[in-house]
Chains A and B, each alone.
Chain A
Amino acid sequence: MNWIQVLLIASVLALLVFLLRSRRRAKSKAWVKVGYVLFVMAGIYAILRPNDTTVVAHWVGVDRGTDLMLYALIIAFAFTTLSAYMRFKDIELKYARLARAVALQSAQVPEQR
């Protein structure tokens, strides 16, 4: 086993522990956690037998396993960016509502003339 493989597997496992320990609403996130585990298992397999990704790549008409990984990464990155953007917009709206509540509580009425 190469040193790089040890390093990659260690960081993937660390990521798994970190993600599974994050305490969000348990039920709704259950499928996401199953996804993490599957992702980590596939990751470790690909690290140990890198040539097998090339076999999968050939199935879908891509020359090298590395290229397939890159394409998957680009798609995943685009989805992550979009979902972060949506989340950000949601939080912005909550922030606006909070600021509005504060503003309405401290409204000033002009002196009657």
Chain B
Amino acid sequence: MDAVSVEGVWKYFGDFPALRDVTIRAERGSCLALIGRNGAGKTTLLRILAGLSSPAKGRISVFGGGAREQSTRRKIGYLGHGIGIYDELSAFENLRLFAKLYGVTDAPGRAKTWLERVGLGHVHEGLPREFSRGMRQRLAVARAFLHEPDLMILDEPFTALDDRAIAVLQEILKRAMSDGRTVIMSTHQLREALELATDVALINRGKLAFAGKRSQAMLDDSGWLYRNYGEA
């Protein structure tokens, strides 16, 4: 059964079609890398999948339910461009808040576990505004995935990350995939993404230009996709 099914989705910003008749599927346990130039529509599609925006036309199904359904959102972890962290609350308070909102039974315990996991256990009472960019990003990863979601949606997750944060994120994603969770991410960092991806979709000016399994040709030559399916 598909974890995510997108059928004939259109999205307009004013008169401009940001997504044009996009149809994609992601199987359970797969890792789908959404690739495309800036403004191609990757973020728009991910926001629709995360229930943050509604399509103008078309159908979205996430584990058989609508993306805005409360029970569906419990199964989704979303890491967008912003880190979604409150600067006035401590790292621990931030994670405890989101653990509570996701209905995690032992919210303080889960918050502590994830702070350790992303290497921030020693600064759990620190305020995020005093953290480095890499630390903030690691806290954001913990915030987005502490409820162990079945579907992890990540928008440009490797952008501006230091080596340590990339390693933490890759470890989390690999473990999630080995647990049978589904990952959908958009990225410009083709090498990091293609190492993890099982499937690849290329979006070009709002239209799906390619969707299929990741191949050895893509791994060997990261420009292969754009040359064969992208705009010149």
Partners in one complex: no
Contact surface of B with A, Cβ cutoff 8 Å: none
